[in-house]
A and B are shown apart, each in its own frame.
Chain A
Amino acid sequence: MPLPTDELLQGTLDLLILRTLTRGSMHGWAVSHRIQETSRDALRVNQGSLYPALHRLEDEGLVRSEWGVSELGRRARFYELTAAGRRQLARETATWERFAEAVQLVLRLA
């Protein structure tokens, strides 16, 4: 049963997007597809919230977008990480790992 990303913590979607974009610039659909694929279908990105998230990240200067030509030969908006985005990703990843560890500890030992 795939988990819709809506039900994840706020910020998690951002983290997933930023991480995915480390592989290079890609369009919105590719980002969602990639997340689903990498998580072996465990995470399914709600497509209605993917784009607002991408725009918010760009608004905050963490990603930037450019129009390019997709594999279908159509114009598509490609997103890529900015330097600020990379820094943010490093910070968020560390936080997330500490958090996940802590939750695991509690689940195991409490």
Chain B
Amino acid sequence: MRVIRKLLRRARIWAAPRRFERELDEELSFHLEMQTRWHETHGLDHRAARALAMREFGGETRFKEAVRDVRGVTWAHDVARDVRFAVRGYRRSVGYTVTALVTLALGIGITTATFSIIDAVLLRPLPYGDPDRIVTLSSQDSLGNVIRSVSAPNFYDWRDQSRSFAAMALYATRRRAVVADGDATYVEGATVSGDFFRVMGVGAMIGRTLEPSDADQNERSVVVSQGFWTRALGSAATLPGSPIEIDGERYRIVGVLPPRREYPAGIDLFIPYAFGSPWRTASRNNINFNAVARLAENVSLDQARAEMRAIATVLHRAHPEDLYGYGVPVASLHERVVGSATGYLELLAGAVGLVLLVVCANLANANLARGATRAREMALRTTLGAGRTRLIRQLVAESIVLSVAGGVAGIVLAWTLVRIVASTTAVELPRVHEMGLDGPGVAFALALSIGVGLVVGSFPALQIGRTSLYATLAAGGRTTANSSRAAARDVLIGVELALAIMLLVGAGLLIRSFGVVLSRQLGFVADGAVSAELSLPSVRYDDRRAVAFYAQLLPSLRALPGVAAVGMTNALPLGSSATGFIEIEGNGDTGAGAGYRVISDDYFTVMGIPVERGRVFGVADDAGTPRVTIVNRSMADRYWPGQDPIGKRFKAKSMEWKDPPWLTVIGVVGDVRHWGLEREPVVEHYVLYRQRPEFARDMAVIVRGATPPPQIMRLVRDRVRSIDPTIPAAMRTLSARVDESLAERRFIMTILAAFGALALVLAAVGVYGVLSFTVAQRTREIAVRLALGAERRRVLVMIVGHVLRVSLVAAVIGLLAARALSRTMTGLLFDVSPADPRTYAVVTIVLVGVALCAAYVPARRAAGVDPMLALRSD
């Protein structure tokens, strides 16, 4: 604060330098007059009094300079002069200036954008009250797997027995149908227990948040997100208390949350729910909820973990049937929210750091070359009495002026980049709504600019005073005999090339991985299929009605013109689905697990999944007939190796609420990479929705046909509406789902490839620039050689050969560094070794090739020098 006030006081003076000087004069003359009068009253005549006063005062100039120093005016004056000098110099060399500005803007822009993204995602505290105290509680199975969801009875036992938490809450998310503007659409809703907002530490922006008592009220209350409030309701139009219809039931909006406070991400509706007494006696294997808690005061995360470990042990002894009660992992909310983004954001930070180093090396090199052409100017100024510190300061100031100008352009670039990343739907970054270029980002960019300016500017500054004045002046400023300067340029070029090859190796490994991922089989045909996700509200749809709804919808879709097949599943591929424990008949293994999916009769047809053995579900399979199931190839191989699985039986223990019946295997189908191209198919089985109607609320209907997707979507929506106008359908093509599942990998690959390409271009520009400069400086020497009979080819080979040597040394160093660093990328690679020789070879060829191309043009120019012309020109 004091520093700022001081700066403001000084700024007032700097803003009006003339007035400051005038006032100094006035103060001085007033003092002299007073002192003169004083002496006059003591008997001196006016002239003597005046002279004495002046003598007592000392030098006028010394006084003024002392005051200027004190007020920072001298400093400001010097800086202003340096800046004027710098601008004048840059206006004389436009080419250099523009190249440097573009390089700076790119370097600072992408670095700042990366900083802003990492700051928003990883560094900044979550926007909740005391966010470090919020934790999530999870389940754990006998294999040690952490499962993020929990069961209600366990939650209540934890809450009653633990002392580590100030509050605990349970929630479950589900899409909800909301009627807005006469049209039904889906929004994400969370049913939350009473203490949810106490745990999160969030108050309402308008109205209030939910209280535990809200769940028991006759009138249903709901809290909405700010985004939903403005988007769907039009914020000005309605006030808290206004009604809203959710899943066909009337609710009253009691509050609106502040912006960006949606947790879990994307939730628009918060509906109170009494996870009351019926839930206490539910199955502990029904783990459909999420648990959050706020640590009590003075309780550390480790203490909470220890307590929950002890509670889990006791609970599991009392409930040995609990398949997910082998522990209660406690993690900070930040960990849960940020999750997997940490890995690739760290890679991004590393890559951007390398690009910034290339930028610095490039600028330093250009600056060195520029410094060499100005050697004469500097030498001249030294002889005329300019101090070495003065010249160094000016060079550094020049560099900072340029880098700050580039930095300002970089801020604009960063702002654009951050907005693109924040608005892109190609990749889902956590906390994307909190992203933006703000105060810290701008401060970072400016600090970075000044830092880069200092580093880059100090290179030529170090050269000052190194060379003999006489030699420089005598040689007319043309000499490059200075071998230390030439060596410095080679080193800088080598550094650029080495950094570029490191980035290229990283990009190459990711590109190879992407190729491997793309070449894998999904196990189903995505092209030409459209999915429509539907949710039937359980209030109006009991099991029988839900089955009847789909039994009416599916045939009516099949009858549409241009539709070839229609099917349905409770979990689309490349999304989440459930996995449970099973018990194979005649096998004591209780740890066996399998994923389960609830589907309709024609699901395999519409998805193009091959049926390998047995039969699929048919009209004869119904609620009343024996329970049947179809397993995938992996499941058949795993549990019945070498046998015919048809007719074998097993129980799905976690998907049935109580007393699971035997399921008889009637068919085997091909494996599907349901969890994404990068994952291996898992052991899975399918059951028929008519035999498990409890699961038939949230379903996805898949329609395949020759008709273009938009048209199919419209037809499907109309059919759904004609059966129940309050049920919206969320439509997408399956291909879009596949694309999205690759988005994260494609995003990081594209960015690293772009960084690699940028580094390569910068390095090429560096090689080209330095060689052009060297050739220009050595024209006379080359001309002499040619005049003395040297072959033109030899000149060409000499220059290109030099670059070849530098780039080969750089490539070796860069490859070794890349090999060491690529280990950290292992998690992002896929079926490609971090030491993949093909990638390293291709990258080396590309880099050396580009370096030679960049060298060839100036080398040709050198070989083309006319000996006579060069000798004459001066």
A63-79, CB < 8 A from B: 67, 70, 72, 74-77
Contact in complex: A51, B63 (CB < 8 Å)? yes
User: In the bound complex, how far is the Cα of B58 from the Cα of A29, in angstroms?
Assistant: 14
User: In the bound complex, how far is the Cα of B72 from the Cα of A47, in angstroms?
Assistant: 21
Contact in complex: A48, B30 (CB < 8 Å)? no
Contact in complex: A47, B56 (CB < 8 Å)? yes
Asked if B791 lies at the interface with its beta carbon under 8 angstroms from chain A, I say no
- The smallest beta-carbon distance between B343 and chain A, in angstroms, is 50
The residue from A47, A60, A61, A67 contacting B31, defined by CB atoms under 8 A apart = A47
Stretch at the interface among B3-11, B112-120, B253-261, B660-668: B3-11
Asked if B70 lies at the interface with its beta carbon under 8 angstroms from chain A, I say yes
Asked if B75 lies at the interface with its beta carbon under 8 angstroms from chain A, I say no
B residues near A48, Cβ cutoff 8 Å: 57-59, 62-63, 66
A residues near B37, Cβ cutoff 8 Å: 72
The residue from B10, B33, B58 contacting A74, defined by CB atoms under 8 A apart = B33
B residues near A74, Cβ cutoff 8 Å: 30, 33
Give a binary string over B52-85; 1 marks a CB under 8 Å from any A CB, 0 the rest.
0000111100110011011110000000000000
User: In the bound complex, how far is the Cα of B12 from the Cα of A61, in angstroms?
Assistant: 14
Give a binary string over B1-21; 1 marks a CB under 8 Å from any A CB, 0 the rest.
010011001100000000000
User: In the bound complex, how far is the Cα of B700 from the Cα of A75, in angstroms?
Assistant: 87
The residue from B2, B10, B67 contacting A52, defined by CB atoms under 8 A apart = B67
User: In the bound complex, how far is the Cα of B30 from the Cα of A28, in angstroms?
Assistant: 9
Contact in complex: B30, A75 (CB < 8 Å)? yes
B residues near A75, Cβ cutoff 8 Å: 26, 30
A14-71, CB < 8 A from B: 27-29, 33, 46-49, 51-52, 55-56, 58-61, 67, 70
- The smallest beta-carbon distance between A18 and chain B, in angstroms, is 16
Asked if B283 lies at the interface with its beta carbon under 8 angstroms from chain A, I say no
Contact in complex: A52, B63 (CB < 8 Å)? yes
The residue from B56, B57, B71 contacting A55, defined by CB atoms under 8 A apart = B71
- The smallest beta-carbon distance between A3 and chain B, in angstroms, is 15
Contacts A52-B63, A59-B9, A59-B71 given; indicate if A46 touches B58 (C-beta within 8 A).
yes
Contact in complex: B67, A29 (CB < 8 Å)? no
Asked if B23 lies at the interface with its beta carbon under 8 angstroms from chain A, I say yes
B residues near A67, Cβ cutoff 8 Å: 23
- The smallest beta-carbon distance between A94 and chain B, in angstroms, is 21
Interface residues on B, range: 20 to 34
User: In the bound complex, how far is the Cα of B66 from the Cα of A61, in angstroms?
Assistant: 18
Give a binary string over B116-143; 1 marks a CB under 8 Å from any A CB, 0 the rest.
0000000000000000000000000000
Closest B residue to A57 by CB, please name it: B70
A residues near B26, Cβ cutoff 8 Å: 75, 77
Closest B residue to A45 by CB, please name it: B56
- The smallest beta-carbon distance between B71 and chain A, in angstroms, is 6
User: In the bound complex, how far is the Cα of B69 from the Cα of A77, in angstroms?
Assistant: 19
User: In the bound complex, how far is the Cα of B5 from the Cα of A61, in angstroms?
Assistant: 8
User: In the bound complex, how far is the Cα of B33 from the Cα of A46, in angstroms?
Assistant: 17
Contact in complex: A27, B6 (CB < 8 Å)? no
B residues near A77, Cβ cutoff 8 Å: 23, 26-27, 30
A residues near B67, Cβ cutoff 8 Å: 51-52, 55
Contact in complex: A29, B56 (CB < 8 Å)? no
B residues near A56, Cβ cutoff 8 Å: 70
A residues near B27, Cβ cutoff 8 Å: 28, 51, 76-77
User: In the bound complex, how far is the Cα of B56 from the Cα of A48, in angstroms?
Assistant: 8
The residue from A27, A47, A55, A61 contacting B58, defined by CB atoms under 8 A apart = A47
The residue from B9, B35, B66, B72 contacting A29, defined by CB atoms under 8 A apart = B35
Asked if B34 lies at the interface with its beta carbon under 8 angstroms from chain A, I say yes
B residues near A52, Cβ cutoff 8 Å: 63, 66-67, 69-70
Asked if B639 lies at the interface with its beta carbon under 8 angstroms from chain A, I say no
Closest A residue to B73 by CB, please name it: A55
B residues near A49, Cβ cutoff 8 Å: 66
B805-823, CB < 8 A from A: none
Contact in complex: B30, A59 (CB < 8 Å)? no
User: In the bound complex, how far is the Cα of B2 from the Cα of A53, in angstroms?
Assistant: 19
User: In the bound complex, how far is the Cα of B10 from the Cα of A14, in angstroms?
Assistant: 20
Nearest first, the 5 A-B pairs at minimum CB distance are A48-B58, A52-B66, A29-B34, A56-B70, A55-B70
Instruction: Show the binding face of B for A, using Cβ within 8 Å.
Output: 2, 5-6, 9-10, 23, 26-28, 30-31, 33-35, 37-38, 56-59, 62-63, 66-67, 69-72
Cross-chain pairs A/B with CB under 8 angstroms, 19 sampled: A27-B30, A29-B34, A46-B58, A48-B59, A48-B66, A49-B66, A51-B28, A55-B70, A58-B9, A59-B6, A59-B71, A70-B30, A70-B34, A72-B34, A74-B30, A74-B33, A76-B27, A76-B30, A77-B30
Instruction: Show the binding face of A for B, using Cβ within 8 Å.
Output: 27-29, 33, 46-49, 51-52, 55-56, 58-61, 67, 70, 72, 74-77
Extra contacts besides A55-B67, A61-B2, A72-B37 (5): CB < 8 Å: A46-B58, A47-B57, A55-B71, A72-B33, A77-B26
